[in-house]
Structure 1
């Protein structure tokens, strides 16, 4: 599907029109396959491409690929996550991969390649979980790059990377080693799943994320040339995009939380007389979510603010979103009672989705570690 398939009055005329079209997809075709995504591992390629054609995963990019509107990108992700957290997560994967491509400044990754990605014609993700943990001193780099004529040879194994498949690609990072095997800097690049030297391995079944196109990647002497390079060295590039990278994840948290609140209201007429004795009631959670959403939208006005204070605020909002989604999903289960304990229940699925919001990189513990580190660095000597 491409832009020609989208009615002209719903293309990119206004944010409200985009959101209305995204909502229609989320509550229509996507809602019809959400059980298959969750329970059977169905990868919603067609649904993702419909969302891509509407501009739902490129709104944050600059013209001509998008609007440069981070708030719209977050709201679109929240609309989808409200119905299916797994698909909302894949929207984030697609969105940040596009962010890498545009921010790279590499002509080979921009132009037609970026337009194809922005429209959903091509799909991809991000293999940056390990590098983000490395920068936080949680684990070592798993990919190593050896300089060769015209580029690098990259080898190593990543245990899981999402929104992948045949013809897909993802942003990745490797440590560049010297003749002694020591990492001297990092290089970031576009990793193409179909490239020679890349092996995709099936992962064990994932709770709440079975249909996310998640694979283990094994790289053996994968050649990376200038057409694939996003940043070399990578650290300044990461410092420039880190706030936007984390901020975009807030769309997942907002959507999953809103879906949980909606499930509470759905049983209020029947069970409100007894649910009133529960903590975390829907009106209270809604007020907290609305305040968080307003805060996130304010941050979305300056997503590339390089200051440490801004990044701390983004990390804190992301942590708040994860914690709120956990509370809301658990409360929704208690509000629904036995019916929410059925495996077919959207509440049961959302509990698992909220767990993913809390542990996907950066996980709550990672967020708190970074907030503590950055806060300590900002203190006077």
Structure 2
């Protein structure tokens, strides 16, 4: 992406962020988002697609994700539900990066980039298997021209009607693995009724049971799961880190505004958290410019640290807010509840800590990343 192109997308920020901020309270109060309602994923994805923002960093020749990470971070500062749905959708675009333009997957990718299609990432089981935790639970049985899929997907988001779900499956009892695409609403693809969550209800998240779901060869993304995970894992973790940094940065900004008088006793906590945020942001910017070159273990640590920082930052904002921070209709309380999701989001805190406790199992970086021109935290570019 050229510097001119990179700068051009920022002209849409005031409009996009005003839209996200304006609907944040309504999104937070959503119970079951409708297919086309103002609280569901489609509304934001259409807006971003109309402004050509969904495919930032995903064009041929692009090797970094700094621009899309910055956009996710800025959106998360206003509403984590919106940033999370964007992240889930953007990952599907990443999964289909190598699809030919005139193939079924290439046409799907074009629709995802335009915001006319909705993407759902269901790759948690693949990351768990590649980390040595447990095998992929969905079984793919070779069938005429494709596969029959059976098994559970324990959690996915953006599960609106017609959404394209990318998932891993093991081929029979052997060592074969595929990544395939099914649609919400296809025969044999049953989405469980969504449960009421502490926050992020608008992300249309639930579980899926596959029973005889059919996928043809044209909707198989890859039959090399190991190589696929090596390629997409750095981007997945870095974009998750981005929405952690956005939420943490906003919470600290608000805490700084609230701390006064006797609240000055909280200043050391604020300064410590701000220093941690600056360090994490600098590490993230460097890795975002060349994810494939970054040390996989360092990215795992960064994702874990960013989530821990976000929990601390939102708690600090709630503390500085006093009783108002305990009222569920306040932004401080919303951010506190949003952050509470991070320990269970895949890869969960348990998985990240387990991975970090193991000897290094991921291949080392193949080359050294170049130093970007700037690692200035992009949240400071957020329009006031």
When the two structures are superposed, what TM-score results if normalisation uses the length of structure 1? 0.86
SS in structure 1 of the partner of residue 148 of structure 2: strand
Asked if 2 retains the 8 angstrom alpha-carbon contact of 1:22 and 1:51, the reply is: no
**213, 216, 222: which one pairs with 1:222?**
213
The number of residues matched between the two structures is: 355
Does structure 1 residue 94 correspond to structure 2 residue 89? yes
Asked if 1 retains the 8 angstrom alpha-carbon contact of 2:41 and 2:204, the reply is: no
Which region of structure 1 is more displaced relative to structure 2, 248-257 or 155-164?
155-164
**200, 206, 226: which one pairs with 2:197?**
206
Shift of 1:60: 2.2
**18, 34, 46: which one pairs with 2:9?**
18
Counterpart of 1:249 in structure 2 is 240
Asked if 2 retains the 8 angstrom alpha-carbon contact of 1:23 and 1:79, the reply is: no
Asked if 1 retains the 8 angstrom alpha-carbon contact of 2:194 and 2:205, the reply is: yes
1: CA distance, partners of 2:4 / 2:239: 22
SS in structure 2 of the partner of residue 276 of structure 1: helix
Counterpart of 1:162 in structure 2 is 157
Does structure 1 residue 370 correspond to structure 2 residue 355? yes
Asked if 2 retains the 8 angstrom alpha-carbon contact of 1:59 and 1:68, the reply is: no
Which region of structure 1 is more displaced relative to structure 2, 200-209 or 328-337?
200-209
Shift of 1:356: 1.5
Counterpart of 1:7 in structure 2 is none
2: CA distance, partners of 1:279 / 1:186: 51
Which region of structure 1 is more displaced relative to structure 2, 131-140 or 310-319?
131-140
Counterpart of 1:8 in structure 2 is none
What aligned pairs does 1:1-381 form with structure 2 within 5 A after superposition?
14-26=5-17, 28-41=18-31, 42-63=39-60, 69-104=64-99, 108-177=103-172, 182-268=173-259, 272-278=260-266, 281-305=269-293, 310-375=295-360
Q: Would the alpha carbon gap of residues 104 and 236 (structure 1) be closer, same or farther in structure 2, given more than 3 Å must change?
A: farther
Asked if 2 retains the 8 angstrom alpha-carbon contact of 1:97 and 1:171, the reply is: yes
Asked if 1 retains the 8 angstrom alpha-carbon contact of 2:41 and 2:85, the reply is: no
1: CA distance, partners of 2:272 / 2:8: 30
Asked if 2 retains the 8 angstrom alpha-carbon contact of 1:105 and 1:230, the reply is: no
Q: Would the alpha carbon gap of residues 334 and 351 (structure 1) be closer, same or farther in structure 2, given more than 3 Å must change?
A: same
RMSD of aligned residue pairs (Cα, Å): 2.3
Which region of structure 1 is more displaced relative to structure 2, 138-147 or 150-159?
138-147
Q: Would the alpha carbon gap of residues 291 and 54 (structure 1) be closer, same or farther in structure 2, given more than 3 Å must change?
A: farther
Which region of structure 1 is more displaced relative to structure 2, 103-112 or 355-364?
103-112
User: For 1:94-144, what per-residue CA distance to the aligned partner results, in whole angstroms no more than 9, with x for missing partners?
Assistant: 111001111355852554322211121211110112222233343442211
Q: Would the alpha carbon gap of residues 323 and 20 (structure 1) be closer, same or farther in structure 2, given more than 3 Å must change?
A: farther
Counterpart of 1:5 in structure 2 is none
When the two structures are superposed, what TM-score results if normalisation uses the length of structure 2? 0.86
Shift of 1:69: 4.2
Shift of 1:84: 0.5
1: CA distance, partners of 2:11 / 2:74: 9
Shift of 1:183: 3.8
1: CA distance, partners of 2:240 / 2:336: 18
1: CA distance, partners of 2:363 / 2:178: 28
Shift of 1:287: 3.1
- Alignment gaps of 5+ in structure 2: 32-38, 365-384
1: CA distance, partners of 2:176 / 2:98: 19
Q: Would the alpha carbon gap of residues 374 and 245 (structure 1) be closer, same or farther in structure 2, given more than 3 Å must change?
A: farther
SS in structure 2 of the partner of residue 195 of structure 1: coil
User: For 1:65-93, what per-residue CA distance to the aligned partner results, in whole angstroms no more than 9, with x for missing partners?
Assistant: xx654000100000100010111111110
User: For 1:194-213, what per-residue CA distance to the aligned partner results, in whole angstroms no more than 9, with x for missing partners?
Assistant: 32221222121111111101
